[in-house]
Structure 1
Amino acid sequence: MPRSRLSLNRRTLIKSGLVLGASQVIGAPFIVKSLADEPVKIGMVDPLTGVLSALAQSEVDGAKFAVAQINKKGGILGRQVELLVEDSANDVGTGVQKTRKLIDRDQVSVILGDVNSGIAYAMSQVTNEKKVFHIVPGGHTDPITGTNCKWNVFRICNTTTMDANAVTPELVKKFGKKWFFITPDYAYGHTLQEAFIKALKKAGGTYEGDMLPINATDFSATLIKAKAYKPNVLLNNMGGLTQINCMKQFTQFGMQKDMALGGALFELESIKACPPDAQKGWWAMEWWWNQPNVPEVMKFVSDYRAATKNTPSARVWFGYVGVHTVRLAAEKAKSLEGPKLAKALEDLELPPDVALQPGKVRYRAGDHELMANIFVGEAHPPKSGADDVFTTATLVPGEQAAGSVADTGCKMVEPS
């Protein structure tokens, strides 16, 4: 082959290669565009069956409401949002299995869940291994943002310590220092009772109590024991349907005449399901719908009622904040990569239409716990409407109830 022909062919080959390379580069915007047509997938795992199902459903409802809002305004990073919901059935193994399915098969960018603290912690092991951004809307046990904190995990609801620290002073001041605990025997109950005991001992109090299965149905033996102890306050720390059943049996025994009621959480869903005699006591609400001096709250409640015919609870707010948190982190990071989302969210302050309460509400960088207000007040039978079953007496700032990051035991390790 003549040298000139060979050179030409080489030049043609090189030129063709350059054209091919250019076409690949030029094609990149088309690839990006096709990706933009793909939804941002958010996976949510919650116990939609079992004793915590009402609380879980409210979280899902709040998340769906946020998705509809965000999609109406253009989505996240210009992409529509798709919420994929799985039922953990209040079982750790199932929760882990569903988490892996959402990540490996459904290719979600973010995981939300679980109401059950033990499941939420097990899920965090998976999401951390996979480097997937994980928000815990409503699992309270302290280690999640304490001794077992992880770079990819952020929490919306309070720690058990925050709730105990917020409500203990009111219970001691109003009723006395002799308490009886009825507490669920799993992660949430253990850390909650430990926090209450620590706060009570600091006030010079004494206590007795029982730990019962999370799905307990018969409370008679424990209530008889409580009545014999003659406490100033009975703290019903059970959750969901078990708390409701315990409250019903408490009133059937006529014990509301002998002692005060109180505890960490008595949520809107549970209060409304109890008889009027059991709609009482002093508790910590982690968000409350009746905030007449906060215009963003009034609009949110009005919009939510119009869309769902229901009044939003704290659990609805958890789900709502969870999805909007993904949006806020992605907008700041300009990415859906787990490490970038986590870094963007540290010390990020929620805007008023997401925080839905007065003051500064932020994800604390040191432990990834949301520093929101705690609404301490009294439960009571409905006043002006069916959902007017709680009156806030005081707002306890999250920072005050949480203590320092050092107090939590969190030692954050950055992703490798």
Structure 2
Amino acid sequence: MHKKLIATLAMVLAGSTAALADASDGKVKIGILNDQSGVYADFGGKSSYEAALMAVEDFGGKVLGVPVEVVTADHQNKPDIASNIARQWYDTEQVDSIMELTTSSVALAVQAISKEKKKIDIVTGAATTELTGKQCSPYGFHWAYDTHSLAVGTGGALVKQGGDSWFFLTADYAFGYSLEENTGNYVKENGGTVVGAVRHPLATTDFSSFLLQAQSSGAKVIGLANAGLDTSNAIKQAAEFGIVQGGQRLAALLFTLAEVHGLGLDAAQGLTLTEGFYWNRDEESAKFGKRFMERTGKMPNMVHAGTYSAVLQYLKAIEKAGTDETEAVAKELHALPVDDVFAKNGTVAPNGRMIHDMYLLEVKKPDESKEPWDYFKVLATIPGKEAFIDPAQSGCELVKS
């Protein structure tokens, strides 16, 4: 009898030890790395950290019987700073996965380090298609949106409305180049022309010379291939030059709920934009939005909701794999469907691109808004297969032809 009891206890203890061994260091640790003090602080920022905490809490706070910890840091939009933080997190602080990664140059740098270290990264804040293209990684995932989906959404809508000649005002780094290229290609494929472009440094405060070039180009549409405060400042200064009053249209190619709130409906009304999430889309998203609002004082955009989804899916993959070992978790991230408040029937392609529906939105006029943060009309749902590049055409070596 005693021998059986001892054997049973030994099995229980062995099972407990195995569970702890399957979660490295007795915990699962996620790093949220993004811009928390610069032009993209509202775009993602500390609110993305709160979204990650919400996902952990909703999952139960533990996975495989061990606690889940979330840490965060500000990369200041500098790839060298981000790279140093990523290496420190991986090498000395037992971080298992890094997520969010606003700013494409940062995301590409951290994804390269994650690949080297055999760690999973899930990008929600950066946009370049290179993440799942030529610079793809077996451990890298791109979640919320990318430059191709923005081009198809906003660019496609304006071309169909007669905006068939474009001039680009572009942020001078990887994200801006990718957004300009993707949108320009889409415009030309649909019979339009690109008459020129000018590039500006990140965090520009004076857009005068750039806007004058755009205005003098005679293009029907001025494509703002930038984001965050850069886009907001360009729109404000364009109003001072009377660009829209003169008959040209502004296309805010990456503009989210956070930036509309900062700009105000008076200035933003009528803008067409594309997001992967809108809090007032349905009952489930509204419930999530109100929970998020209670914690942060703002409604979530696609980066915040996408970060929630990415963290939740990562924990689901660990649970399904029975371990937090990178190869096993990456396999489950590719296999598991994504079904949460952010994405319905989402799938992860071999190149790491999470394919889901996007939404073409129009900013409401002030008298159309029924409550605080009620800023958008949903003009159309863009099916995931239309919004994102066919993985076979992405240039990723992981995709079998």
- TM-score when scaled to structure 2? 0.89
2:271 pairs with 1:284:
no
Q: How does 1:57-68 map to 2 (within 5 A)?
A: 57=45, 58-68=47-57
Determine the structure 1 residue equivalent to 2:352. Answer: 368
Residue 179 of structure 1 pairs with residue 166 of structure 2: yes
Within-5 A mapping of 1:166-315: 166-207=153-194, 208-258=196-246, 259-275=248-264, 276-292=266-282, 295-315=283-303
Q: Which of 363, 366, 371 lines up with 1:379 in the alignment?
A: 363
Correspondence 1:117-128 to 2 at 5 A:
117-128=104-115
Structure 1 position 49, deviation (Å) = 2.0
| 1:396 is aligned to 2:382 | yes
Q: Does 1:100 align with 2:87?
A: yes
Count of paired positions = 384
**Counterparts in 2 of 1:219 and 1:376: CA distance versus 1, 3 Å:** same
AA of the residue aligned to 1:151? P
Deviates more, 1:269-278 or 1:212-221: 269-278
On the 8 A contact 1:113/1:136 being kept in 2, the answer is yes
The answer to whether the 8 A contact 2:44-2:303 is kept is yes
Distance 1:355 1:297 in 2: 6
Question: Quick check: 2:151–2:186 contact (8 Å CA) kept in 1?
Answer: yes
Give structure 2 stretches of 5+ with no counterpart: 1-8
Question: Residue 5 of structure 2 aligns with which residue?
Answer: none
Residue 356 of structure 1 pairs with residue 346 of structure 2? no
Shift of 1:192: 1.0
Aligned partner of 2:3 in structure 1 is: none
Question: Higher mean Cα deviation, 305-314 or 172-181?
Answer: 305-314
Distance 1:168 1:78, change over 3 A: same
- Residue of 77, 86, 99 corresponding to 1:90: 77
The separation in 2 between residues aligned to 1:64 and 1:46, in whole angstroms, is 15
Q: Does the aligned pair in 1 maintain the 2:89–2:95 contact within 8 Å?
A: yes
Q: Distance in 2 between matches of 1:217 and 1:396?
A: 34
- Structure 1 residues 203, 45: CA separation in 2 closer, same or farther (over 3 Å shift)? same
What residue in structure 1 maps to residue 6 of structure 2?
none
Q: How many angstroms does 1:305 deviate by?
A: 3.0
Q: Counterparts of 1:86 and 1:402 in 2: how far apart (Å)?
A: 30
Deviation at 1:413, TM superposition (A): 8.2
**Alignment correspondent of 2:127:** 140
**Which of 150, 160, 166 is equivalent to 2:137?**
150
Shift of 1:25: 9.2
- Whether the 8 Å CA contact 2:149–2:387 is kept in 1: the answer is yes
Structure 1's 178 and 413: CA in aligned 2 closer, same or farther, altered over 3 A?
closer
- CA positional deviation for 1:372: 1.3
Q: Percent identity?
A: 28
SS at match of 2:337: coil
Distance 1:161 1:133 in 2: 23
Deviation, 1:82, is: 0.8
Distance 2:206 2:336 in 1: 45
Question: Using the alignment, how far apart are the partners of 2:221 and 2:399 within structure 1?
Answer: 41
Alpha-carbon offset, residue 26 of structure 1: 9.0
State the alpha-carbon separation in 1 of the partners of residues 172 and 27 from structure 2.
Answer: 40
CA separation of 1:68 and 1:212: change in aligned 2, threshold 3 A: same
Asked if structure 2 preserves the Cα contact closer than 8 Å seen for 1:143 and 1:149, the reply is yes
Whole-angstrom distance in 2 between the partners of 1:78 and 1:231: 59
Cα contact 2:348–2:354 (8 A) shared by 1: yes
Cα RMSD (Å): 2.3
Whether the aligned pair in 1 keeps the contact of 2:20 and 2:64 (CA below 8 Å) is no
CA contact (8 A) 2:278 2:285 kept: no
Distance 1:330 1:222, change over 3 A: same
Q: C-alpha displacement at 1:91, in angstroms?
A: 0.5
Alignment gaps of 5+ in structure 1? 1-22
Q: Does the 8 A contact of 2:125 with 2:144 survive in 1?
A: yes
CA contact (8 A) 1:256 1:277 kept: no
Contact 1:161 1:196 in 2 (8 A): yes
- Mapped partners of 1:213, 1:101: distance in 2: 29
Distance change >3 Å, CA 110–CA 385, structure 1 → 2: same
| In 2: Cα distance, 1:377 partner to 1:24 partner | 59
Q: Which letter does structure 1 place at the counterpart of 2:378?
A: T
Distance in 2 separating the partners of 1:160 and 1:214: 17
Say if 1:138 and 1:155, in contact at 8 Å, map to a contact too. Answer: no
Cα 1:197–1:286, aligned 2, differ >3 Å: closer, same or farther? same
Which string of whole-angstrom CA distances, capped at 9 and with x for unpartnered residues, describes residues 294-325 of structure 1? x4323322332344443222121122112102
**Distance in 1 between the 2:347 and 2:334 partners?**
8
Q: Is the 8 A contact 2:32 2:72 kept in 1?
A: yes
* Contact 1:175/1:260 (<8 A) preserved: no
Distance 1:356 1:157 in 2: 9
